[in-house]
């Protein structure tokens, strides 16, 4: 039989998990923690809520939040400078994928040295990292559990995916209450990111029974609870479900990797700084159409997980139901069908398509991809 590998952090999940942050850091032997966040999360008050338990545990801390969405290589290096000069011995990412990925990248560079671009690709990390603790606040990125960090290479204007088991956080504290301060659009975008993770991981060439169970449950939860999570900011039942959907989708993607949607959306994020979840949400249905013939049974199972009636349908019609359900869900929560007008010239489209061909996520896409196919898929959403 084949060998399966599955990595995961220690996970503490539930309303109130944030209060466990001090004790969690103590268990990891931390003395002074470098908190990485972003201005929006700071304003929402989640960093302020993390500080008292850290103080009560007798720990010292530094707060740093000089990052933007789609975190850039120079931001990571600035954070690293601060980390080193303040003598911290652990990182704590509080926020969405940007904060957590930046925290991971700082931890990586603090012991491995070099430039963050030296670590692009799989398994380039040589030295052990300081402890990493993650507190996600967006229910989408999955960065709180993945072995990946995504950082924009500003020179090449593309996103670098860094993959290493060392990037799996030591402890992940997932507190659904943190989702109650997100606005509608961010909730919709990040929720669609989580759904994209689950769907891409489920049809990935590297999917295993260990990732399938996570992916299918994430698809089920996102289908049932994303609309109410978008329309009602304070519905805690929906927030619990979306926090779990994001977690399970993250576990699936960390271990089965992704596919063509992410290979393409990484380019839109890298070159145009487009919000990651929004780019995925717009690309997902067309890429599903493209992949359908290569994963027809699995698309049928996705349709079932999305509460579609597939009994008696042909395999193709059942699979098609999954795509219809994704389109309907995206429409219900206000996702656009086309990319916003960002001045994509023919020349830029060719560059984006060529760059997508070398993105690590393309390796596990269920269908073999040619550059012309990607060009067509980008053109279809213009």
Q: Which residue is nearest to Fe ion (CB)?
A: 193
Should residue 278 be labelled a site residue for Fe ion when binding is judged by CB under 5 A? no
Tokens 């020349």 belong to residue = 347
Of the two residues 144 and 193, which places its CB atom closer to Fe ion in the complex?
Answer: 193
Token pair belonging to 128 = 């052990």
Q: Which stretch binds Fe ion (CB under 5 A): 41-49, 55-63, 70-78, 186-194?
A: 186-194
Q: 210-236 as b/e, with b when 16 or more CB fall inside 10 Å?
A: ebbebbbbbbbbbbbbbbebbeeeebe
Q: Which stretch binds Fe ion (CB under 5 A): 79-87, 119-127, 187-195, 344-352?
A: 187-195
Contact 94, 135 (CB under 8 A): yes
C-alpha span between 324 and 285 (Å, rounded): 8
Should residue 144 be labelled a site residue for Fe ion when binding is judged by CB under 5 A? no
Q: Which stretch binds Fe ion (CB under 5 A): 76-84, 101-109, 161-169, 192-200?
A: 192-200
The DSSP result for 25-86, as a single string, is: HHHTT-SEEEEE--HHHHHHTHHHHHHHHHHHTT-EEEEE----SS-BHHHHHHHHHHHHHT
Q: Which stretch binds Fe ion (CB under 5 A): 81-89, 115-123, 191-199, 203-211?
A: 191-199
Of the two residues 38 and 193, which places its CB atom closer to Fe ion in the complex?
Answer: 193
Of the two residues 96 and 300, which places its CB atom closer to Fe ion in the complex?
Answer: 96
Token pair belonging to 204 = 């990935």
**Least separation in angstroms between CB 290 and Fe ion:** 18
Contact 184, 347 (CB under 8 A): no
**Least separation in angstroms between CB 333 and Fe ion:** 17
Q: Which stretch binds Fe ion (CB under 5 A): 52-60, 185-193, 306-314, 346-354?
A: 185-193
Tokens 């984006």 belong to residue = 352
Site for Fe ion in 114-133 (CB under 5 A): none
**Least separation in angstroms between CB 118 and Fe ion:** 23
C-alpha span between 9 and 128 (Å, rounded): 15
Site size toward Fe ion, by CB under 5 A: 1
Should residue 193 be labelled a site residue for Fe ion when binding is judged by CB under 5 A? yes
Of the two residues 112 and 190, which places its CB atom closer to Fe ion in the complex?
Answer: 190
Of the two residues 101 and 193, which places its CB atom closer to Fe ion in the complex?
Answer: 193
Should residue 200 be labelled a site residue for Fe ion when binding is judged by CB under 5 A? no
Instruction: Rounding to the nearest 10 degrees, give the CA dihedral for residues 177, 282, 167, 84.
Output: -80
Instruction: Report the interface residues with Fe ion, using CB under 5 A.
Output: 193
């Amino acid at each position: 039989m084949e060998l399966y590998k599955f990595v995961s952090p220690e996970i503490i999940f539930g309303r109130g998990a944030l209060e466990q942050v001090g004790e969690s850091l103590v268990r990891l032997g931390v003395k002074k923690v470098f908190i990485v966040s972003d201005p929006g999360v700071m304003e929402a008050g989640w960093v302020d809520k993390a500080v008292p338990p850290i103080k009560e545990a007798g720990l010292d801390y530094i707060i740093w939040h000089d990052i933007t969405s789609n975190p850039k290589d120079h931001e990571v290096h600035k954070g690293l400078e601060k980390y080193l000069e303040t003598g911290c011995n652990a990182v704590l990412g509080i926020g969405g994928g940007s904060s957590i990925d930046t925290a991971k990248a700082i931890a990586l560079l603090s012991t491995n040295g070099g430039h963050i671009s030296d670590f692009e690709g799989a398994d380039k990390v040589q030295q052990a990292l300081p402890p990493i603790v993650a507190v996600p606040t967006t229910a989408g990125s999955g960065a709180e559990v993945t072995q990946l960090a995504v950082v924009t290479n500003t020179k090449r204007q593309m996103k670098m995916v860094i993959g290493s088991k060392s990037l799996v956080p030591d402890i992940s504290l997932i507190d659904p209450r943190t989702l109650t301060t997100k606005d509608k659009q961010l909730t919709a975008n990040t929720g669609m990111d989580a759904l994209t993770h689950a769907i891409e991981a489920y049809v990935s060439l590297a999917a295993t029974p260990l990732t399938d169970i996570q992916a299918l449950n994430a698809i089920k939860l996102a289908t049932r609870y994303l609309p109410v999570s978008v329309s009602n900011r304070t519905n805690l039942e929906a927030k619990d479900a979306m926090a779990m959907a994001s977690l399970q989708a993250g576990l699936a993607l960390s271990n089965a990797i992704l596919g063509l949607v992410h290979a393409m959306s990484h380019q839109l994020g890298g070159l145009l700084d487009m919000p990651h979840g929004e780019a995925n949400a717009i690309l997902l249905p067309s890429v599903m159409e493209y992949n359908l013939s290569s994963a027809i049974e699995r698309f049928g199972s996705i349709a079932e997980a999305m509460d579609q009636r597939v009994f008696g349908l042909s395999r193709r019609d059942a699979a098609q139901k999954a795509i219809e359900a994704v389109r309907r869900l995206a429409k219900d929560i206000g996702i656009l069908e086309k990319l916003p007008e960002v001045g994509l010239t023919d020349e830029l489209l060719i560059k984006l398509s060529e760059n997508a061909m070398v993105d690590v996520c393309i390796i596990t896409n269920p269908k073999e991809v040619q550059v012309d196919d990607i060009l067509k898929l980008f053109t279809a959403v213009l």
